[in-house]
Structure 1
Amino acid sequence: MADQEKRPAPAELAVDHDQPAPGREADMQLKPDSDLSNYKPACKLVGKVALITGGDSGIGRAVAIAYAMEGADVAIVYNHSEDDAAETCRLAEQRGRRCLSLLADVTVKADRERIIEETVSRLGRLDILVNNAAYFEGDGTLPELEEEGLRRVFDTNIIAYMLMAQVALPYLEKTSGCIINTSSTTSLLGKKGALAYSSSKGAVNVFTKSLADELASRGVRVNAVLPGPFWTPAIATSSEETVKTFGSFTMMGRAGQPEEIAPAYVFLAADASFMTGALLEISGGFKSVD
């Protein structure tokens, strides 16, 4: 895909910076490439239903569109941008599939239950749960951490993943479905100034492996995707200096676009019948030394 169109260099991304958190794709000048215009579907998910938290923009949007192109109906959960969610559904429905848009907070028990119930009642089943919602605000170095922000990061990035899986499990068992968790390469490398986020993603890795072991005998696979630097609305909330160098530290010298990671989620949902407990890194290649 990268050889079919120009991918922005880090400095070109700097037109978008210091946006209000958590970021809106609709407000970005250089929008993430998440329309899957280069993707070649192969009818791998016909008849399936996927639920994607954080599905309104960025990686979540690209995954929703890829699944729709492969024949799945999709439900997306969003917590902030109704405009972004509506656009994601429009793009999925443009591919001939149903898309259910659900405004919810994955840290709230009643919302989690409603998300699963509405997905199954309106789309008929549940085959794939993609835990993708994330929270970044309130992070920083150790002296900068505030308890409220720290708790929100863990509530969203790992506790909600566990509890979403808990509610979805009875339906996933019926379909021999799968769970795909979005982690991060910071879970392996750490990241200065992102103690809470990196630590929460490390917990996602251990959760993925532990739950995979627990559910293997019940016919449900559990894997994780570990994105490196990807151009999403969340990054556009960073400072201009941060955005200017975003992705420059990879072997490929740039940030990835959501279109370039969505196929990994298709692979884990459709083609990876002998994979569970795996951590699939999509990073553009991290250098061993700076």
Structure 2
Amino acid sequence: MTEKDKIQSQEPKKDYYIDDESKNMDREPIVESENYKPAGKLKDKVTLITGGDSGIGAATAILYAKEGAKVAFTYYSSDNDAQRTKERLEELGSDVMTFKGDVGDESFAQKVISDVTSHWGNIDVLVNHAGEQMYQESILDITAEQIDRTYRTNIFSMFYFTKAAFPYLNEGASIITTSSITAYKGNPNLIDYSGTNGAIVSFTRSLSQNKEIIDKKIRVNSVAPGPIWTPLIPATFPEEALAGWGKSGALGRPGEAYELAPAYVYLASDDSSYVTGQTIHVNGGEVING
């Protein structure tokens, strides 16, 4: 392959969107920007992203590939999204592994870690990103089954994947969680989801102070998205709730998935070598204390 071919193979497709689950969107979520300039910050790093098939997870996987990483990701159900993302990562020259399953099942987490480490050895970056939310007008409508499902996907999975991965995390590795603006300001129609994100923030802070983590010089941080236009949004909110959605911040608009991904690169790379136990707020100008 010539140098020109290498450059051309890394150019983003202008029409690269994840839209398998977003047919009722007025516009498609954008997971890749033409303006990003990679610098080899994750060259040869082994990275694992839960929920990496679409939205923020796919945007992060793409930047990791551009930065030279090997990328494994999990997904729950959308084979089309997973295949599309996998093909894009391979176009960028990345080695890729994909895993379909339920992150809320500990045996799935153990199998993913086992397969990744058997294939690539140890792990350098673990991104606990997979999550789900369900809109309810009344707390009376939140069933025990919904609570169990939300907590199992959003917070139990972080324990499962972190526990399974810990023996294989290299010294100086990075663990990144995805929390949410709802952990700080709440949401009256996403009560159980907001609760899980409060737990994620505490999980992140506590894990960063754990002696075993510190002894291995592992950094643990979180990214807290504000209103980001992903397939999850129209799948969650009723149409009437989307009219002014995401416009309360200083920038007056919802964000795109690709605008989150550089934060995950920063936390995965040596650029953040003195950062642990912290949360980066990428929310379009909502001032959040804490």
In the alignment, the residues of structure 2 paired with residue 92 and residue 216 of structure 1 have an alpha-carbon distance, to the nearest angstrom, of: 32
* Cα RMSD for the two superposed structures: 1.8
1:221 Cα deviation (Å)? Answer: 0.8
Going from structure 1 to structure 2, the CA distance change for 1:196 and 1:139 (only over 3 Å counts) comes to: farther
Equivalent residue number for residue 283 of structure 1? 283
In the alignment, the residues of structure 2 paired with residue 117 and residue 145 of structure 1 have an alpha-carbon distance, to the nearest angstrom, of: 35
Structure 1 stretches lacking a partner, 5+ long:
1-18
2:167 to 151, 167, 170: 170
Where does structure 1 differ by over 6 angstroms across 4 or more consecutive aligned residues?
none
Give a deviation string over 1:15-42, Cα, whole Å, max 9, x none.
Answer: xxxx9xxx72577562211023221111
In the alignment, the residues of structure 2 paired with residue 287 and residue 175 of structure 1 have an alpha-carbon distance, to the nearest angstrom, of: 34
2:148 to 151, 154, 161: 151
Q: How does 1:202-221 map to 2 (within 5 A)?
A: 202-214=198-210, 215-221=213-219
One-letter amino acid matched to 2:43: V
2:81 to 80, 84, 92: 84
Give a deviation string over 1:200-240, Cα, whole Å, max 9, x none.
Answer: 00000000000000012321110000000000000021222
1:224 to 222, 225, 241: 222
Normalising by structure 2, report the TM-score: 0.87
Q: How does 1:1-290 map to 2 (within 5 A)?
A: 24-25=21-22, 30-137=27-134, 139-172=136-169, 174-214=170-210, 215-237=213-235, 238-270=237-269, 271-286=271-286
Secondary structure in structure 2 of the residue aligned to 1:32: coil
Give a deviation string over 1:161-180, Cα, whole Å, max 9, x none.
Answer: 112101000111x3431110
Give a deviation string over 1:55-109, Cα, whole Å, max 9, x none.
Answer: 0000000000000000001001000101001111111111111111110111112
Secondary structure in structure 2 of the residue aligned to 1:87: helix
Going from structure 1 to structure 2, the CA distance change for 1:189 and 1:75 (only over 3 Å counts) comes to: same
Contact residue 24 and residue 234 of structure 2 kept, 8 A: no
In the alignment, the residues of structure 2 paired with residue 100 and residue 166 of structure 1 have an alpha-carbon distance, to the nearest angstrom, of: 20
Q: Which of the pair has the greater relative contact order for Cα pairs under 8 Å at 6+ separation?
A: 1
Contact residue 171 and residue 216 of structure 2 kept, 8 A: no
One-letter amino acid matched to 1:242: A
Contact residue 140 and residue 195 of structure 1 kept, 8 A: no
In the alignment, the residues of structure 2 paired with residue 251 and residue 228 of structure 1 have an alpha-carbon distance, to the nearest angstrom, of: 12
Give a deviation string over 1:103-125, Cα, whole Å, max 9, x none.
Answer: 01111121111111111222333
Secondary structure in structure 1 of the residue aligned to 2:195: helix
**Percent of pairs with identical residues:** 39
Secondary structure in structure 2 of the residue aligned to 1:160: helix
One-letter amino acid matched to 2:272: A
Normalising by structure 1, report the TM-score: 0.87
75-84 or 119-128, larger mean C-alpha shift: 119-128
177-186 or 31-40, larger mean C-alpha shift: 31-40
One-letter amino acid matched to 1:198: S
Contact residue 208 and residue 223 of structure 1 kept, 8 A: yes
Going from structure 1 to structure 2, the CA distance change for 1:220 and 1:139 (only over 3 Å counts) comes to: farther
Contact residue 141 and residue 194 of structure 1 kept, 8 A: no
Contact residue 176 and residue 219 of structure 1 kept, 8 A: yes
Structure 2 stretches lacking a partner, 5+ long:
1-18
Report how many residues are paired. 266
